Structure 1
């Protein structure tokens, strides 16, 4: 198999990162080693002044999967810091269900219980819908109060966790998270192949991905 050129290796890495909304920035500095810094929407790479283009390309290529896997957590931490924290309150407030305001008024704990019930009710039909499309089946689905991510997947146990906060958003957001986690049963990382699998199963996934991006599950 012919070896890819240096420029092509770097271009492919840049494209994979761009698909996840990450811009690649490489700059030569007076440093001894190649340094990587993953920031919201950017992978910053500082390289020694004397390093060759092929060495840069090889180093970046090896770090693409790491950047894709860790960027969601970097984004969540960033937005969590930027979002003003609401004061703890036991007072009732309006409830959003699948993105639509309801006539109910519940306090925070009641909302969690309500959302858990709603998600439990729709999960069987949603997984029945998407598992054949993705071509992967989860052995177990659990719900959890997750503030920095919307879902997670234990590929070895084939166990998927979903955030109880999802019912506050349009149901397509929950469907996207289900598709996303099911696709991890094919690809454990966020490689180009992973995103291609997501897009093949759910062509409009980017709309729902963007809607959830930066949200931290705050209800009140």
Structure 2
């Protein structure tokens, strides 16, 4: 397996995990063996410093099916724990819409329904705005309750997911995420060429990138 094919396999594995809302995090550590740790919304992989990309990709490939299967059960336990630890999950709280406080008081479930509706309203217009600029077109767009990222792109299927939590931020943040993911249709990684493409399309992108960077989600 060549370096290029190893990278291609790893990209495919990242996309497969991302489709299940699982972030792949690979870290080099002073360990003898490749170690896997599955967490809610994340597969953490510790690899020895002196190991090839081919070995890493092949090892992860062997564990992806296990991770996808076990993650479903892990989430059930995690969600139960969250429910037990919450004093009153039905309490309503004021919310933000496009970065501005609203007079609405919604509980968590109602908030997600509201955010999904608001995001669905603006997505067609925003994709129509940015796709001609970037010269890339998504064949399918989806909204998902993602805990580890603000957006995700399946470069093979030209499918883009946006986080349901984006309407809490200024709408420019959503536009930036759309730009970011559309640029992945030209560059599958976060190379210098990728960031140059983002900046060409949206010169002020760093402002919105910084605003989202301090939050829980990431961009892929």
After TM superposition, the score normalised by the length of structure 2 is 0.60
Residue 113 in structure 1 maps to residue 113 in structure 2: yes
1:32-51 paired onto structure 2 within 5 Å? none
Corresponding residue of 1:126: 126
Segments of 5+ residues of structure 2 without an aligned counterpart are 1-29, 33-47, 54-81
Segments of 5+ residues of structure 1 without an aligned counterpart are 1-30, 34-45, 49-58, 63-84
- Residue 47 to residue 148, structure 1, CA distance change in 2 (3 Å): closer
Rounded Cα–Cα distance in structure 1 between residues aligned with 2:140 and 2:90: 33
Corresponding residue of 1:203: 203
Corresponding residue of 1:187: 187
Corresponding residue of 1:213: 213
Corresponding residue of 1:80: none
Corresponding residue of 1:163: 163
Deviations 1:77-103 (A, max 9, x none): xxxxxxxx9946211100100000001
CA displacement at 1:216 relative to structure 2: 2.1
Rounded Cα–Cα distance in structure 1 between residues aligned with 2:99 and 2:114: 14
Rounded Cα–Cα distance in structure 1 between residues aligned with 2:167 and 2:178: 13
Instruction: Count residues in correspondence.
Output: 146
3-state SS of paired residue (1:188)? coil
Greater relative CO, 1 or 2 (CA 8 Å, sep 6+):
1
Q: Which has the larger radius of gyration?
A: 1
3-state SS of paired residue (1:103)? strand
CA displacement at 1:214 relative to structure 2: 3.0
Question: Considering only aligned residues, what root-mean-square deviation do their CA atoms show, in Å?
Answer: 2.9
Rounded Cα–Cα distance in structure 1 between residues aligned with 2:201 and 2:125: 17
CA displacement at 1:206 relative to structure 2: 0.6
3-state SS of paired residue (2:200)? helix
CA displacement at 1:47 relative to structure 2: 8.5
- Kindly report structure 1 stretches of 4+ aligned residues shifted beyond 3 Å: 85-88
Deviations 1:107-164 (A, max 9, x none): 0000000000000000011001100111100000000000110000001110000000
Corresponding residue of 2:60: none
3-state SS of paired residue (1:162)? strand
3-state SS of paired residue (1:189)? coil
Rounded Cα–Cα distance in structure 2 between residues aligned with 1:143 and 1:128: 17
1:65-84 paired onto structure 2 within 5 Å? none
3-state SS of paired residue (2:104)? strand
Rounded Cα–Cα distance in structure 2 between residues aligned with 1:166 and 1:154: 19
1:72-111 paired onto structure 2 within 5 Å? 87=86, 89-111=89-111
Rounded Cα–Cα distance in structure 2 between residues aligned with 1:47 and 1:195: 28
Corresponding residue of 2:39: none
Rounded Cα–Cα distance in structure 2 between residues aligned with 1:90 and 1:149: 25
